[in-house]
Amino acid sequence: MRTASARRYLMCPPAHFAVTYSINPWMDPAKPVDLQLALAQWEDLVARQRSLGHTVELLEPDPALPDMVFAANGALVVDGRVLGARFAYPQRSGEATAQRRWFRAHGFTDYHLPEHVNEGEGDFAVTRSWILAGRGFRSSPESHAEAQEYLGRPVIGLDLVDPRFYHLDTALCVLDDSTDTDVMYYPAAFSPGSRDVLARLFPDAVLAAEEDALALGLNAVSDGRHVLLPQGAAGLAAPLRARGFEPIPMDLTELLKGGGSVKCCTLELRD
- 12, 54, 144, 167: the catalytic one is 167
- 12, 173, 264, 265: the catalytic one is 264
108-144 confidence digits (pLDDT tens): 999 999 999 999 999 999 999 999 999 999 999 999 9
pLDDT of residue 253: 97
Instruction: Indicate the residue type of 149.
Output: E
Q: Is 144 annotated as catalytic?
A: no
Q: Is 173 annotated as catalytic?
A: no
Class of domain 8-268: alpha beta
pLDDT of residue 1: 76
Q: Say which residues have a Cβ less than 8 Å from residue 101's Cβ, sequence separation at least 6.
A: none
Instruction: Indicate the residue type of 14.
Output: P
Cα(159)–Cα(194) distance, integer angstroms:
6
14-71 confidence digits (pLDDT tens): 999 999 999 999 999 999 999 999 999 999 999 999 999 999 999 999 999 999 999 9
Percentage of residues in the chain having pLDDT higher than 90: 99
Mean pLDDT confidence for 175-192: 98
